[in-house]
Amino acid sequence: MDLYFIWLVTFVAGFWIFKKIKEWQNLPPGPWGLPIVGYLPFIDRYHPHITLTNLSKTYGAIYGLKMGSIYAVVLSDHKLVGDTFSKDSFSGRAPLYLTHGLMNGNGIICAEGGLWRDQRKLITSWLKSFGMSKHSVSREKLEKRIASGVYEILENIEKTSDAALDLPHMLTNSLGNVVNEIIFGFKFPPEDKTWQWFRQIQEEGCHEMGVAGVVNFLPFIRHVSPSTRKTIEVLVRGQAQTHTLYASMIDRRRKMLGLEKPKGAEYAPHENLLKLYPNGHIKCIKYSKVSPNTEHFFDPNTLIPTEGDCILDNFLLEQKKRFESGDPTALYMRDEQLHFLLADMFGAGLDTTSVTLAWFLLYMALFPEEQEEIRKEILSVYPYDDDVDSSRLPLLMAAICETQRIRSIVPVGIPHGCIEDAYLGNYRIPKNAMVIPLQWAIHMDPNVWEEPEKFKPRRFLAQDGSLLKPQEFIPFQTGKRMCPGDELSRMLSCGLVSRLFRKQRIRLASKIPTAEEMRGTVGVTLAPPPVKYYCEPI
Ligand code: HEM
């Protein structure tokens, strides 16, 4: 009996070890790491995309490595990214602490499964109906909204003659109001304190999320590192603060539409936030890791409501419909989800577009001859100040594409999560693996792009002068979760730059950034060095 038992245990253990070795053998190749932390200590904290790109030169277009508690698979070939991200198995999000832990799978960026599919369908169709598709009837209306935001910037520039301007900051403020109209249905008044506060929370949040990178992979770090604990505190409080602002916008927009909050849609913190200050004012506190906390009171009635369609109204109307009809998917339309969705749309839409434009302005100031050529194109196609169509300005669009290639604003890409055990070719990808589409490696591959470190907008032009879209160019990624705001961002960038360049010539007021500064600063996005500009009227 004893012998039989020993034999059975040995057999089961042997089988288990054999199975594990087989599984391990089928994983993609990759570097060894240390126990617990994996390869994390060897990744350049400030330029992780460079370390990962260098590894792809050793291990190939697909490799795997342990990053703390997470197994990551890195893809550095556009075709592999396309094939992988078109599969349902890879449509999840990586189980990172900051995304899963802080967002709880709410919103759209961190959502998965039924919630994600439902919200993505809604967002895509709403964006289209607002004019964000090439042949939409409402496109003209959207162009006009964008134009009005741009005039605000131009007026501000004209007012500040001869001064060195923080142009990216000015652009973000005005662009932000266009995005605010589309998402919330409100604009902030010019120079509004609460708008600055809201932007600062967003900017510091984006920066801190990058800095806190390691906590994503080793969540226990927050219990031992006071600095990481403080970062998380700032992020959590910042989130609560912005939710206060959303709560007041939701309340006001609901009243404007004459809607009641459906029973079952309540979000407890929302109710409490609005009860805090009976006169309806909001206490806006700015928690910071780098400066003392500040506070001010905000009267939501100062927000300027807009006429056009917005995501918030569409959500509220859909919410009413689903709750009234007893649709089981009403579950996806609760106020809690709405708060996270608004935050996602604002963050995804504004930060990405303004960082892209900030890099673009910098390259335009560094390459004045390209700036002149682009201006010539704008003035020849649109001699009068008309609504602009990006397809008629190929050189301008080529320069924007080249900016997005040479400085991928999300250089490691936005990772996906593997929702079930799956295979890529012969490699086994385990459930919960993080799949990284390494944009930097793809956009800087010398086998695809000649002299990849050189800024050459014309690489995006065909011989007949039309705009080329090489398949290796994936700033918005590809597949099931591809950015739904790509067309909006093109419309915003083109609408803004074409009007700015027709009126102003820009040049650097700060000293030329060093090669090191031109590498950018990694947060959620790769930010350019902060520089100022002179604008000279044409
Ligand atoms: C230059 C500007 C932009 C860039 C480079 C960019 C890039 C990206 C990337 C790389 C992703 C991840 C896609 C994936 O997971 O496979 C993404 C997702 C997303 N983007 Fe953008 N984006 C930009 C502008 C916008 C704008 C203007 C909006 C809308 C207002 C927007 C809304 C979103 C949303 C909602 C998602 C999440 C999609 C999902 O998880 O299903 N983005 N974006």
Rounded to an integer, the average pLDDT of 240-263 is 90
CB burial class (10 A; 0-12, 13-18, 19+) of residue 138? middle
Which region, left, alpha or beta, applies to residue 451 given φ > 0 means left and ψ of -120 to 50 means alpha?
left
What integer pLDDT is reported at residue 513 of this predicted model? 98
| Ligand 1 pocket test, candidate residues 115, 352, 360, 412, most atoms within 8 A of CB | 352
What integer pLDDT is reported at residue 375 of this predicted model? 97
Question: Residue 436's pLDDT band (boundaries 50, 70, 90)?
Answer: very high
Answer whether residue 276 shows pLDDT above 90.
Answer: no
What integer pLDDT is reported at residue 538 of this predicted model? 87
Rounded to an integer, the average pLDDT of 65-70 is 93
CB burial class (10 A; 0-12, 13-18, 19+) of residue 379? middle
Atom number, ligand 1, closest to the C-alpha of residue 404: 5
More confident residue, 20 or 221: 221
Read off the pLDDT of residues 380-392 as tens digits, 9 standing for 90 and up: 999 887 778 889 9
Atom number, ligand 1, closest to the C-alpha of residue 474: 10
CA–CA separation, 516 vs 498, rounded Å?
Answer: 30
CA–CA separation, 537 vs 502, rounded Å?
Answer: 9
Are the C-beta atoms of 152 and 170 separated by less than 8 Å?
Answer: no
For residue 308, the number of C-alpha atoms closer than 13 Å in the C-beta half-sphere is 25
* ipTM for this prediction: 0.99
What integer pLDDT is reported at residue 448 of this predicted model? 97
Rounded to an integer, the average pLDDT of 438-452 is 98
Question: Residue 321's pLDDT band (boundaries 50, 70, 90)?
Answer: very high
What integer pLDDT is reported at residue 422 of this predicted model? 96
CA–CA separation, 470 vs 474, rounded Å?
Answer: 9
Question: Residue 232's pLDDT band (boundaries 50, 70, 90)?
Answer: confident
206 annotated binding-site participant:
no
More confident residue, 237 or 107: 107
What integer pLDDT is reported at residue 189 of this predicted model? 87
Cα 310 to ligand 1 centroid, rounded to whole Å: 18
| Ligand 1 pocket test, candidate residues 145, 181, 310, 483, most atoms within 8 A of CB | 483
Tokens of residue 80, six digits? 């592999």
Architecture of domain 91-409+475-537: Orthogonal Bundle (1.10)
Reported as type and span, the H/E element at residue 157 is helix 139-159
More confident residue, 409 or 145: 409
Cα 410 to ligand 1 centroid, rounded to whole Å: 10
Handedness of CA 481, 485, 487, 490 (dihedral sign): negative
Distances (CA, A) of 474 to 78, 79, 405: 8, 10, 8
Read off the pLDDT of residues 170-194 as tens digits, 9 standing for 90 and up: 888 888 989 999 999 999 987 888 8
Cα 309 to ligand 1 centroid, rounded to whole Å: 20
Between CA 224 and CA 232, with CA 228 as vertex, the angle to 5 degrees is 120
More confident residue, 297 or 359: 359
Answer whether residue 212 shows pLDDT above 60.
Answer: no
Reported as type and span, the H/E element at residue 305 is strand 304-305
Lowest mean pLDDT among 188-192, 341-345, 468-472: 188-192
Cα 348 to ligand 1 centroid, rounded to whole Å: 6
CA–CA separation, 30 vs 60, rounded Å?
Answer: 9
Between CA 320 and CA 327, with CA 323 as vertex, the angle to 5 degrees is 125
Residue nearest to atom 27 of ligand 1 (CA): 349
Read off the pLDDT of residues 34-48 as tens digits, 9 standing for 90 and up: 999 999 999 998 899
Averaged confidence pLDDT in the chain: 90
Residue nearest to atom 3 of ligand 1 (CA): 352
What residues flank ligand 1, with Cβ below 6 Å? 85, 108-109, 120, 123, 344-345, 348-349, 352-353, 356, 409-410, 414, 416, 475-477, 481-485, 488-489
What integer pLDDT is reported at residue 274 of this predicted model? 56
CA–CA separation, 499 vs 382, rounded Å?
Answer: 10
Max mean pLDDT among 19-28, 69-78, 183-192, 286-295 falls in 69-78
Question: Residue 408's pLDDT band (boundaries 50, 70, 90)?
Answer: very high
For residue 419, the number of C-alpha atoms closer than 13 Å in the C-beta half-sphere is 13
Q: Could you tell me which of 210, 273, 192, 278 has the C-alpha nearest to residue 239?
A: 273
Rounded to an integer, the average pLDDT of 59-71 is 95
Q: Could you tell me which of 421, 435, 438 has the C-alpha nearest to residue 26?
A: 421
Answer whether residue 23 shows pLDDT above 70.
Answer: no
Above pLDDT 90, what percent of the chain?
A: 61
CA–CA separation, 527 vs 209, rounded Å?
Answer: 13
Atom number, ligand 1, closest to the C-alpha of residue 416: 15
CA–CA separation, 374 vs 370, rounded Å?
Answer: 6
More confident residue, 509 or 153: 509
Distance, C-alpha 87 to centroid of its chain: 22
Torsion of CA 124, 146, 167, 304, to 10 degrees: -90
Question: Residue 141's pLDDT band (boundaries 50, 70, 90)?
Answer: confident
Residue nearest to atom 19 of ligand 1 (CA): 483
Cα 160 to ligand 1 centroid, rounded to whole Å: 34
Max mean pLDDT among 90-104, 365-379, 387-401 falls in 365-379
Residue nearest to atom 37 of ligand 1 (CA): 109
